[in-house]
Amino acid sequence: MNPAEKETMQLVTDFHHDGFVIARGLFSPGEVAEIERQLQHYMDAFLSELEPGEVYYEDSESRPIKALHRMHERSAYFRDLVSDDRLQHIVSALLAAEPILLSVMFFAKHADHGSATPPHQDNVFQCWSPPDALAATIAIDASTVENGALTIQQGSQQLGLLPHRPSGVKGFSQALCEPLDTVAYPEVALCMEPGDVALHHVLAIHRSDPNTSGRSRRQLGIGYSSSHSRRDEAALARYKTDLGKLNASIEA
């Protein structure tokens, strides 16, 4: 086995054990600069026409952008990024299947503004059966404990989908009903440098703190499912009903 294969095998073992892995330095500084340029271009070109569900803003007075969703639908650059050979190689190894693109997203926590993300499992929104799916997070800025790094409960993906309730948080409408024991399932803050890529399982419990620092924490999220997973349509319909109720209560 060559060193690259050995490295991939280690990522697969760690992913199954912990529910996440970090591939360090996957994108070069030049490539991260290009992602930033394309983000700016996306905002300049599309921000005024984005539909509900494609953009979320913080509630604070200056209303910075908190998240963008489905960016691949409007941008050829983000659509192509998903097929990057390095990402495809790792994601197909972790899923042991052909990866299917779900969405390209942007998650921002602006300096001193970024709000908390409640603890949740992505499959409460995605409803994959079997739950073979993951999110790849590309760090644009360094993420640290102070600026609200994504924080995962190690091993929690082994528990299956746990009960969630409406969170009242725009963009993350569901939160775990009960906090999960952090001794049995320790919290790990995914501290990353620009160009690092974290991959977390669709059942891994994760959350993030508000950004209390003077430094922004921006990252791209790319959701992939495996070619053999199917949507649980009944679960998806229940989630959409809850989301509709939440949106109605926010607008009321």
Are 109 and 212 within 8 A, CB to CB?
no
Q: Does 239 engage in binding with ligand AKG (CB under 6 A)?
A: no
Task: Give me the least distance between CB of 5 and ligand AKG, in Å please.
Answer: 28
Q: Exactly one of 122, 132, 196, 232 binds ligand AKG (CB under 6 A); which one?
A: 122
Sign for the CA dihedral angle at 150, 155, 157, 160 comes to: negative
d(CA 89, CA 94): 9
Q: Considering only residues 127, 135, 169, 192, which one is a binding residue for ligand AKG as defined by CB under 6 A?
A: 135
Residue (of 196, 198, 199) closest to 31 by Cα position: 196
Give 8 or 117: the residue with its C-beta nearer to ligand AKG: 117
Query: How far is residue 164's CA from residue 55's CA, in Å, rounded to a whole number?
Result: 23
**Amino acid at residue number 72:** H
**Contact between 121 and ligand AKG per CB under 6 A:** no
Provide the mask over 5-44, with x wherever binding to ligand AKG is found by CB under 6 A and - wherever it is not. ----------------------------------------
- Contact, 215 vs 110, CB < 8 A? no
d(CA 175, CA 117) in angstroms, rounded, equals 9
Residue 107 interacts with ligand AKG (CB under 6 A): yes or no: yes
List 157, 173, 174, 208, residue binding ligand AKG (CB under 6 A)? 208
Residues from 212 through 231 that contact ligand AKG (CB under 6 A): 221
First to last CA, the chain: 60
**8 Å CB contact between 231 and 129:** yes
- Of 22 and 150, nearer to ligand AKG (C-beta) is 150
Indicate whether 119 belongs to the interface with ligand AKG (CB under 6 A).
no
Nearer to ligand AKG, 137 or 216 (CB): 137
- Return residues touching ligand AKG (CB under 6 A): 107, 117, 122, 135, 137, 150, 206, 208, 221
